[in-house]
Amino acid sequence: MADLLLGQVLSYRGDPFETGEDAARHIADGAVLVEAGRILDLGEAGALTAAHPRARRHDYGRCLISAGFVDAHVHYPQTAMIASWGKRLIDWLNDYTFPEEMRFADPDYARDIAGRYLDIVLAGGTTTVCSYATIHPGSVDALFEAAQARDMRIYTGKTCMDRNAPPGLLDTAQSAYDQSRALLRKWHGLDRLSYVITPRFSPTSTPEQLAAMGQLWKEHPDCLMQTHLSEQTDEIEWVKALFPQSRDYLDTYETQGLLREGAVYGHAIWLTEREKARLVEAGASLVHCPTSNTFIGSGLFDMGLARRLRVGLATDTGGGSSFSMLRTMAAAYEVAQLRHNPLHPAQLWWLATQGSARALRAEERIGNIAPGMEADLVVVDLASTHPIEQATRRAETLWQQIFPTIMMGDDRAIRATWVNGRPVPRS
Ligand code: GUN
Ligand code: ZN
């Protein structure tokens, strides 16, 4: 039986970085028709209700119905250590992150955190994440199993490291290749699950391991490859010392076959002009992680790049300080303000949905409301708290209604999350 969701409907017919707010389509008294996990139609509530009298109705009043949020770069194993105080990237990794990731040698712990993590993000309206796991194959199994149980479209892969990490977190070029390949064959394309080839970053991989990842990617070209690029200046200096023969940070990946369409680089703050030009030429994706970039003290991403290549938005938990894509949109706005580039709410919302889906090359399936797309949806209360409600009272446009929720909203604004055509039970 079909379901009909009634409310204000926000979808996109284009890219707001190209055509501004006209890229958005707002139906004030709208409806979305869903059946068997797919979006069948969207339109005026009256017309769709009349055309589908037997559909089960879900009246969300003045709430906004949007594509579910897509978080394009996270570390689910860092769930329990989010908001760890006082360190910059390298010390933060050594003092907080690596000890926590060691715990994932225990598959029960991995399962516990994977379930906890997905329940947290679903409560925040996020329906797809692209996550790093740990070096332990069981950590990949745990997230895929938890996602499968929730019917979610999920991307993840074993994080490969063969140097500059504690012995308990190291693999080798060969074991990284073998384990990644076995996981890829086990999971990639099953249900809504996609394997992502995942060398953590150049400082923790030898050139041999990067080459092994490049080889695996060549053998499985339809997978994504994710890694980190130019997040902090100290990290870039370290990369220079470790790879004296490389032209720059991006070159450490490119020479090992890790730069082309489907490459998804997190952070990418301190890029040279050569690196930007190569990324554009290669058709790579970048992911902006604004709460992480301020929390770990990394720098201010240049959103001007969104006009030249695929840019997604992400929490980067637990380097990021929130699981919420609303909070992440707010941080993206603030970072852009510091760069004298006020992002329009239409752009912020697009980044959190279609932009991230495009970065993951999944824009035909998720990140928008259109016939045939997968029915992953979020229903947002635009007056969820008194401070937000009072700020919207004089709103004349949709964007004036939405912006206070972007800047001040949290999980209380998430009225419902739909995954694969079904509402997620509230706990
Ligand atoms: N660079 C390499 N690993 C990480 C990580 O786990 N988090 C962040 N923010 N940056 C990284
Ligand atoms: Zn990261």
Q: Tell me: do 339 and 412 sit in the same domain.
A: no
Contacts of 90 (CB under 8 A, 6+ apart): 232, 234, 235, 238
Q: Tell me: do 53 and 141 sit in the same domain.
A: no
Residue 132 Cα to ligand 2 midpoint, Å, equals: 7
Last residue of a domain, one of 319, 340, 359: 359
What's the CATH code of the domain at 62?
2.30.40.10
Q: Tell me: do 312 and 402 sit in the same domain.
A: no
Residue 427 in this model has a pLDDT that exceeds 80: no
**How do 126-132 and 153-157 pair as beta strands?**
parallel
Residue 74 Cα to ligand 2 midpoint, Å, equals: 6
Q: Tell me: do 139 and 283 sit in the same domain.
A: yes
What atom of ligand 1 comes closest to residue 231's alpha carbon? 10
Domain count of the fold of the chain: 2
Last residue of a domain, one of 359, 388, 414: 359
Q: Tell me: do 19 and 58 sit in the same domain.
A: yes
Taking CA atoms only, the protein residue closest to ligand 1 atom 8 is 319
Burial 136-153 (b: 16+ CB within 10 A, else e): bbbbbbbbbbbbeebbbb
What's the CATH code of the domain at 234?
3.20.20.140
Q: Distance (Å, rounded) from C-alpha 420 to C-alpha 39? A: 9
Residue 379 Cα to ligand 2 midpoint, Å, equals: 28
Q: Containing domain of residue 59, as a range?
A: 3-68+368-423
Q: Tell me: do 265 and 355 sit in the same domain.
A: yes
Q: Tell me: do 335 and 391 sit in the same domain.
A: no
Q: Distance (Å, rounded) from C-alpha 278 to C-alpha 274? A: 6
Residues around the ion ligand 2 (C-beta < 5 A): 266, 316
pLDDT in tens, 373-416: 999 999 999 999 999 999 999 999 999 999 999 999 999 999 99
Best probe residue, ligand 1, of 81, 88, 89, 226 (max atoms within 8 Å of C-beta): 89
Residue 195 Cα to ligand 1 midpoint, Å, equals: 19
Structural contact between residues 83 and 381, judged by C-beta atoms closer than 8 angstroms:
no
pLDDT in tens, 146-164: 999 999 999 999 999 999 9
Q: Tell me: do 349 and 378 sit in the same domain.
A: no
The DSSP secondary-structure symbol of 383 reads: T
Q: Tell me: do 302 and 156 sit in the same domain.
A: yes
Give the pLDDT band (50/70/90) at residue 426: confident
Q: Tell me: do 324 and 395 sit in the same domain.
A: no
Last residue of a domain, one of 336, 359, 382: 359
Amino acid (one-letter) located at 51: A
Amino acid (one-letter) located at 381: D
What atom of ligand 1 comes closest to residue 228's alpha carbon? 1
Question: What is the structure's pLDDT at 296?
Answer: 97
Q: Distance (Å, rounded) from C-alpha 10 to C-alpha 385? A: 21
Phi and psi dihedrals of 375, rounded to 5? -85, 70
pTM of the model: 0.98
Structural contact between residues 379 and 63, judged by C-beta atoms closer than 8 angstroms:
yes
pLDDT in tens, 229-268: 999 999 999 999 999 999 999 999 999 999 999 999 999 9
Q: Tell me: do 44 and 106 sit in the same domain.
A: no
Handedness of CA 315, 317, 318, 319 (dihedral sign): negative
Q: Tell me: do 90 and 145 sit in the same domain.
A: yes
